[in-house]
């Protein structure tokens, strides 16, 4: 293989890897923030129910 073919393949691999990583981290962040909001709402509801 020539060096240009190798560089093209490695560039495509790097772009694929970085896009997969960014998508995964975005999904993890969205999952964490949404579950945090749910727990926060439940906690606020619990505090409201506890106070007379």
pTM: 0.47
Mean pLDDT of 25-34: 80
Task: Label residues 10-28 b or e (16+ Cβ within 10 Å = b).
Answer: eeeeeeeeeeeeeeeeeee
Q: Within a domain: residue 44?
A: yes
d(CA 22, CA 40): 27
Q: Within a domain: residue 6?
A: no
Domain count, the chain: 1
Q: Within a domain: residue 24?
A: yes
Q: Within a domain: residue 13?
A: no
Q: Within a domain: residue 9?
A: no
Q: Within a domain: residue 29?
A: yes
Mean pLDDT of 14-39: 81
User: The domain containing residue 52 runs over which residues?
Assistant: 20-52
Q: Within a domain: residue 30?
A: yes
Q: Within a domain: residue 34?
A: yes
Model confidence at 1, pLDDT cuts 50, 70, 90, reads low
């Amino acid at each position: 293989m020539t060096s240009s073919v190798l560089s093209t393949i490695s560039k495509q691999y790097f772009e694929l890897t970085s896009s997969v990583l960014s998508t995964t981290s975005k999904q993890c962040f969205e999952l964490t923030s949404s579950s945090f909001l749910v727990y926060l709402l439940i906690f606020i509801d619990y505090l409201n129910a506890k106070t007379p």
